[in-house]
Amino acid sequence: MPENLNIKSYETPVKPSWCPGCGNHAIWVALRQALVKMKIKPWEVAFTFGIGCNSNGANFIKGYILHALHGRPLPCAEAIRWTNHKLKAVIAIGGDGDSFGIGLSHFIHACRRNVDVLYLTHDNQIYGLTTGQTSPTSVKGFKSKSTPFGNIEEPINPLALALSNGASFVARGFAGETEHLTSLIINGIKHRGFALIDVFQPCITFNHLNTFAWFRERVYKLEETNYQPTNKKLAWQKSLELGHKIPLGLFYQERKATYFDELPQLKKEALVEKSLKNINLNKALEEYQ
**Contact residue for ligand SF4 among 5, 22, 58, 171 (CB under 6 A):** 22
Instruction: For residue 61, state whether it binds ligand SF4 (rule: CB under 6 A).
Output: no
Instruction: For residue 24, state whether it binds ligand SF4 (rule: CB under 6 A).
Output: yes
**Contact residue for ligand SF4 among 31, 203, 219, 250 (CB under 6 A):** 203
**Contact residue for ligand SF4 among 7, 65, 139, 204 (CB under 6 A):** 204
Query: What is the helix, strand, coil percentage profile of the chain, to 5?
Result: 40, 15, 45
Residue 63 CA to residue 73 CA, distance in Å, equals 15
Residue 177 CA to residue 182 CA, distance in Å, equals 9
Instruction: For residue 53, state whether it binds ligand SF4 (rule: CB under 6 A).
Output: yes
Sort 7 into a burial class: Cβ within 10 Å, 0-12 / 13-18 / 19+. middle
Question: Which amino acid is it at 119?
Answer: Y
Q: How far is the CB of 146 from ligand SF4 (least distance, A)?
A: 15
Instruction: For residue 18, state whether it binds ligand SF4 (rule: CB under 6 A).
Output: yes
- Residues β-bridged to residue 133: 127
Q: What are the residues whose beta carbons fall under 8 Å from the beta carbon of 239, sequence distance 6 or more?
A: 157, 159, 160, 163, 170, 251
Instruction: For residue 124, state whether it binds ligand SF4 (rule: CB under 6 A).
Output: yes
Instruction: For residue 211, state whether it binds ligand SF4 (rule: CB under 6 A).
Output: no
What are the φ and ψ backbone dihedral angles of 208, each rounded to 5 degrees?
-95, 5
**Site size with ligand SF4, rule: CB under 6 A:** 11
Give the number of other Cβ atoms within 10 Å of residue 138's Cβ.
26
Q: Which of 265, 272, 263 is nearest to 115 (CA)?
A: 263
Instruction: For residue 206, state whether it binds ligand SF4 (rule: CB under 6 A).
Output: yes
Q: Which is nearer to ligand SF4, 82 or 206 (CB)?
A: 206
Instruction: For residue 251, state whether it binds ligand SF4 (rule: CB under 6 A).
Output: no
Residue 247 CA to residue 177 CA, distance in Å, equals 13
Q: Which is nearer to ligand SF4, 51 or 80 (CB)?
A: 51
Q: What character string, x for contact with ligand SF4 (CB under 6 A) and - otherwise, covers 126-145?
A: --x-----------------
Applying CB under 6 A, which residues contact ligand SF4? 18-19, 22, 24, 53, 124, 128, 203-206
